[in-house]
Amino acid sequence: MTFESLGLSTALVKAVEKKGYTEPSPIQEKAIPLILNGKDVLASAQTGTGKTAGFTLPMLHNLVANNKWKRRPIRALILTPTRELAAQVYDNVREYSEYLDIKSMVIFGGVNQKPQIRALRSGVDVLVATPGRLLDLQSQGALSLGKIEFLVLDEADRMLDMGFLRDIKKVLDLVPKERQTLLFSATFSKEIKSFASSILRNPVAVEAAPENTTAEKVVQKVYRVDKGKKTELIIKLIADGKWKQVLVFTRTKHGANRLTEKMNKKGITAAAIHGNKSQNARTKALEGFKTNKVRVLVATDIAARGLDIPLLPHVINFELPNVPEDYVHRIGRTGRAGASGEALSLVCGEEREYLKSIEKLLGEKMPTSSIEGFEPSKEDLESTPIKGKAQKKSSRGGQSGRGSSNSNSSNRRRSGGGNTNKNKSRRPRRD
């Protein structure tokens, strides 16, 4: 199977080949023909399956094939839950449309809106946006959604988890009813299925892989290690292995900062990415990592959701997540596009319940070992498990919007609706 055989234009195939892809992934193989034929699609696709190209390529094909506009109204809208994901989806749209007469842009919060407004005035075919900033600019008259032909909801499960349902419903009221809608989600939860049935017309459901499975080409290893020796071990692994690109996960923002500082002191270039970092700092860190100027990127789950780093060879769980599903999302960032990858987890005694929850979710025991000199002490093995057992994904809605300090428009918009107290506690950050 080739991209050309799926029915994509020569210009798109050329752009895909330039990125180094020769064969479509399973989700692309399933979704692209359906989208080209104008079907609404409900797709279950985890991080690293090629889902962005799965909806971007056929959307661009149809936009060019059916263009009747002399000016550039917004014809395609892609909604994402986070700024980082929005930026990465935009990068993909821009790269895939290199040989097309298509203009695209991205808008999100945390940055000055004036340049975004100026760019919108010059005309845009494809707009990638986070819900908060989109509605802010729409309310100011800076953009119109009345000519939308394609609406894409990317990581829809995450958007619902983060409390964006109300904003999404507002967007749905602003776009034409006659449109093609594509909903991509990591899981087919009851909530997602119910939501999909209310916005999709006779949708075709496609699935890239069973829920909560890990990429086949990802080698998973668990190292039992003394809590106090984790930092020393991770520095040793990176240095001895001469690893050039490593994504490291911590549970907290402070933990990410501390680990980053210690790595830099040891001569390993590292940068942290989390909610307390400014948007410019986060963008700079990610760009440095992608261009190999930064060797190690240390991230929290919230900040790293949706990160698209091609051919990432190593993911290290410095600390296990307290939400088992997050483990799947974490390690899904390696082993992409047919490449192999390695996911290491450094597990101390107090994390044993987290490990059990992950293994239960995956339905398998993970291979465990220890490295001489870093073995857990008797005290570590007998340490009390971290308070609070592993959380279910559904319990996270209220905390998922943490770390958002950069909204310049939230106060203006909060007066716009009758929220209950419950809804207020789940308000998303105004991205």
Among 250, 243, 230, residue whose Cα is nearest residue 303: 250
Indicate the pTM of the whole model. Answer: 0.62
205 CB-near residues (< 8 Å, 6+ apart): 41, 42, 43, 44, 188
Q: Three-class SS of residue 114?
A: helix
Output the pLDDT for position 304: 67
- At the top level of CATH, which class does the domain 4-207 belong to? alpha beta
Which one is predicted more confidently, 418 or 373? 373
- Average pLDDT (359-385) is 86
Which one, of 65, 73, 379, 329, lies nearest residue 212 by Cα? Answer: 329
- Show Cβ contacts of residue 372 under 8 Å, excluding neighbours closer than 6 positions: none
Confidence check: pLDDT of 206 > 80:
yes
Kindly report the average pLDDT of the chain as a whole number: 83
Is 396 a residue whose pLDDT tops 70?
no
Residue 401 has pLDDT above 50, yes or no: no
Where does CATH 3.40.50.300 sit in the chain? 4-207, 218-381
Residue 97 has pLDDT above 50, yes or no: yes
Give the SS3 label for residue 171: helix
pLDDT tens, position by position, 278-323: 878 888 888 898 888 999 999 987 766 656 666 678 999 999 988 8
pLDDT tens digits for range 120-159 = 999 999 999 999 999 999 999 999 999 999 999 998 888 8
* Gap between the Cα atoms of 398 and 109, Å rounded: 19
Q: Please provide the DSSP assignment of 203-263 as one string.
A: PEEEESS-TT---TTEEEEEEE--GGGHHHHHHHHHHHHT-S-EEEE-SSHHHHHHHHHHH
Q: Yes or no: is domain 218-381 CATH 3.40.50.300?
A: yes
* pLDDT confidence bin for 212, thresholds 50/70/90: very low
Q: Is the pLDDT of residue 389 over 60?
A: no
Q: Using pLDDT thresholds of 50, 70 and 90, give the confidence band for residue 230.
A: very high
Largest CA distance in the chain: 73
